[in-house]
A and B are shown apart, each in its own frame.
Chain A
Amino acid sequence: MVVAVVDYGAGNLRNVCKALEHVGASVTLTSDPRALEQAGRIVLPGVGAFADCLHGLQSRGLFEPLRDLALAGKPLLGICVGMQLLMSVGEEMGEWPGLDLIPGRVARFQFQDTPSHQRLKVPHIGWNQIIPKQDHPLIAGVKPGSYAYFVHSFHPLVSDPTHAVAVTDYGYEFPSVIARDNVWGIQFHPEKSQDTGLAMLENFVRF
């Protein structure tokens, strides 16, 4: 299976590519919309700020093609900020339009209602648990409560609860695995989450 990893200047993509190769994908790192069209699957990685990633997509002329391909049914997996870009609106340093493939917004962790001594640290960094909310091919074989590696300050809020495949508890539950039809997203780093993350990447590649 040829998997295109979208290269739009968003930092280190090497780890994502290596993990995909490890689970048997044939990986093309590309910023060419035609290569995205030819690939069987697309992975949209991302680190850094929502707006920077959005501009990276736009300046390379990838925003519209990516959206069109996803709407036409091409399997698309967003990882970390790549997952956040799938949403309608990002709220990091302003309000930014996302790809709007999964309705909802991306908000910062909010702990104002928590007493200050119990307030959790942001960014949320480390190994935390995946709590499935429904059966989905992306989490097939992943045991409830499996740990995955997170590094983020913002998280998605899905408008339609059926788009939350799994949640994670950090002060409160937020969607950590989301999906709508052929568009899937993972908030943590599957490429750094050992067997759990690799199993999910393999599920995406093989599905």
Chain B
Amino acid sequence: MLAKRIIPCFDVANGRVVKGVHFVNLRDAGDPVEQARVYNDERADELVFLDIMASHENRGTTIEMARRVADEVFIPFTIGGGVRAPEDFRELLLAGADKVSINSAAVRNPNLIREAAWRFGAQCVVVAIDARRVTPAERLEGLEPAPVPSAKFHPGESLWRVYLNGGRVPTDLDAVAWAIEAERLGAGEILLTSMDTDGTQDGYDLPLLRAISSAVSIPVIASGGAGKLEHFYDAIEAGASAVLAASVFHYKTFRVGEVKQYLAGRGVPVRM
């Protein structure tokens, strides 16, 4: 039976792991390879590295990091941040990454999903979606237009809006419709972060997770809000194939093994 995956996530900048809340008060939290080794020993199923400062000038640093991780950690890992072209996919995959995650580049150029899936296989194309529930108070300055009409936001109907740049740039995309479009274009997986629950430790955004995982047939990775052991179970119940968390693992609220023990105790198939 296919196991549900537990995925620790790292924010990285200039080749170092950083910690901070919503891109501010960043501080150095160590070497990515050493951190990766710790989670590897704790039997994490996969790792995700998001380069939050990614720019074209420091692509080399990210590629070097992928290479160093691949040399020492023998589990699959995903790298995201600053990926804009199929060539970026190629470099990261050759460096040893198993998957590449794209977010704003996919919104600005949905064809990137199609082209990367065609050239490298759908299994390595992760489309990251940052979604926020629509509220009357939402401010929509600098709205990024919808690249495809089918995924356009419908006022009064859409429940979640896609945001870019860590929640700072709203788009004219409906999160559920965008996930469906991403699958149609060839995405192999959706990495779904709720901007409403991210950082709260109050649990994953279950309504959002249910809406998206029932709308697509590709795996959905739940992200944003893990604070208690039952949150992981709730996310899987809501349809997640994998659960991602950062702070609860980095601050050692739980070990990966504890989460797996807990899930196994509740009948979820996990790799122990």
The yes or no answer to B43 lying at the interface (CB within 8 A) is yes
The yes or no answer to A31 lying at the interface (CB within 8 A) is no
Quick check: B74 and A191 within 8 Å, CB to CB?
Answer: yes
Chain A interface residue count, CB cutoff 8 Å, equals 28
* Residue from the list A47, A123, A127, A197 in contact with B3, Cβ < 8 A: A127
Quick check: B3 and A128 within 8 Å, CB to CB?
Answer: yes
Instruction: Give CA–CA (A124, B94) in the complex, Å.
Output: 22
> Which residues of chain A come closer than 8 Å to B3, judged between CB atoms?
126-128, 147
The yes or no answer to B98 lying at the interface (CB within 8 A) is yes
Quick check: A14 and B70 within 8 Å, CB to CB?
Answer: yes
Quick check: B74 and A14 within 8 Å, CB to CB?
Answer: no
* Residue from the list A48, A127, A151, A193 in contact with B5, Cβ < 8 A: A127
Question: Would you list which residues of chain A between 1 and 54 have a CB under 8 Å from chain B?
Answer: 11-12, 14-15, 18-19, 22, 47-48
* Contact A128/B76 with A15-B70, A151-B123 known, Cβ cut-off 8 Å: no
The yes or no answer to B238 lying at the interface (CB within 8 A) is no
The yes or no answer to B21 lying at the interface (CB within 8 A) is no
Quick check: A22 and B74 within 8 Å, CB to CB?
Answer: yes
Instruction: Give CA–CA (A5, B1) in the complex, Å.
Output: 31
> Which residues of chain A come closer than 8 Å to B29, judged between CB atoms?
none
Question: Would you list which residues of chain A between 46 and 85 have a CB under 8 Å from chain B?
Answer: 47-48
* Residue from the list B1, B76, B218 in contact with A192, Cβ < 8 A: B76
Distance in angstroms from A13 CB to nearest chain B CB is: 9
Over the window 222-250 of chain B, the binary record of Cβ atoms lying under 8 Å from chain A Cβ atoms (1 yes, 0 no) is: 00000000000000000001000000000
Instruction: Give CA–CA (A185, B25) in the complex, Å.
Output: 50
Quick check: B93 and A149 within 8 Å, CB to CB?
Answer: no
Question: Would you list which residues of chain A between 139 and 189 have a CB under 8 Å from chain B?
Answer: 147, 149, 151, 169-170
In the complex, number of A-B residue pairs with CB atoms less than 8 Å apart: 64
- Please indicate which of the listed interface residues A127, A147, A151 has the most CB atoms of chain B within 10 Å of its own CB: A127
* Residue from the list A14, A125, A147 in contact with B271, Cβ < 8 A: A147
> Which residues of chain B come closer than 8 Å to A14, judged between CB atoms?
67, 70, 94-96
* Residue from the list B74, B95, B96 in contact with A193, Cβ < 8 A: B74
* Residue from the list B45, B67, B98, B122 in contact with A127, Cβ < 8 A: B45
Quick check: A126 and B94 within 8 Å, CB to CB?
Answer: no
* Contact A125/B96 with A48-B121, A191-B74, A194-B75 known, Cβ cut-off 8 Å: no
Quick check: B121 and A12 within 8 Å, CB to CB?
Answer: no
Over the window 1-30 of chain B, the binary record of Cβ atoms lying under 8 Å from chain A Cβ atoms (1 yes, 0 no) is: 111010000000000000000000000000
A189 nearest CB neighbor, chain B only:
B76
* Residue from the list A124, A126, A197 in contact with B74, Cβ < 8 A: A197
The yes or no answer to A203 lying at the interface (CB within 8 A) is no
Quick check: B5 and A192 within 8 Å, CB to CB?
Answer: no
Quick check: B2 and A198 within 8 Å, CB to CB?
Answer: no
The yes or no answer to A121 lying at the interface (CB within 8 A) is yes
Instruction: Give CA–CA (A193, B45) in the complex, Å.
Output: 9
Distance in angstroms from B117 CB to nearest chain A CB is: 12
* Contact A12/B93 with A121-B217, A125-B188 known, Cβ cut-off 8 Å: yes
Quick check: B76 and A149 within 8 Å, CB to CB?
Answer: yes
* Contact A121/B70 with A126-B5, A127-B3, A127-B45 known, Cβ cut-off 8 Å: no
Distance in angstroms from A98 CB to nearest chain B CB is: 21
Quick check: A194 and B98 within 8 Å, CB to CB?
Answer: no
Instruction: Give CA–CA (A12, B271) in the complex, Å.
Output: 26
> Which residues of chain A come closer than 8 Å to B71, judged between CB atoms?
18
> Which residues of chain A come closer than 8 Å to B5, judged between CB atoms?
126-127
**8 A-B residue pairs with CB within 8 Å:** A15-B74, A18-B70, A47-B121, A121-B219, A127-B45, A128-B1, A149-B75, A194-B40
Contact surface of B with A, Cβ cutoff 8 Å: 1-3, 5, 40, 43, 45, 67, 70-71, 74-76, 93-96, 98, 121-123, 188, 217-219, 241, 271
